Amino acid sequence: VRLVGARGLRAGDSNGRSDPYARVFLAGSVWQSAVVFATLEPSWDEERTFELPQHLPDALLHIVLFDWDQIGAHDYLGEVLLPVAALSAQGEADVWLQLGSGVPDSGVTGEVRLLLRRAELSAAASEAASDRARLSTRAGQAAAP
């Protein structure tokens, strides 16, 4: 999963901008992007590899965007749910996905851009990806804003 960027986000701050970051969830793993300050069109260009166990064919890629705030709770900017089964077995997809909230009149606007690649990993590569995901998840929890 490569989190490329977003556009058309709503302003979460009084200066008419947001300080967006994303949390990405898949199959029990969590990854958090960097915060991009003072923009409604962040560019992250960050990538993570997730291992998807074969016993989870109905897994969902869940991306939630927030506006980082130094004081108080971070503001919700929207989210996307994408069934992993929608991805082809091999190959890449470059997609813009509309943010939603599930709540009418929530004020959520914008889209998030992802480059998605689904590939079969060798046993060694699969173990290395699992190790990286565990380390990344621990680091993300320790460094959460």
> In the prediction, which pLDDT does 144 show?
52
- φ, ψ for residue 141, nearest 5 deg: -70, -40
Identity at 26, one-letter amino acid code: L
Write phi, then psi, for 130 (nearest 5 degrees).
-60, -45
Nearest in space to 141 (alpha carbons), one of 2, 28, 31, 3: 31
pLDDT digits (tens, 9 = 90+) for 6-23: 999 999 888 999 999 999
Question: 32-87: per-residue pLDDT in tens?
Answer: 999 999 999 999 999 999 887 777 778 899 999 999 998 889 999 999 999 887 77
**CA gap 31, 134 in Å, rounded:** 10
> What whole-number distance in Å separates Cα of residue 84 and Cα of residue 81?
9
- Global pTM reads 0.79
Residues 6+ apart with CB under 8 A from 52: 26, 27, 59, 84, 118
pLDDT of residue 45: 97
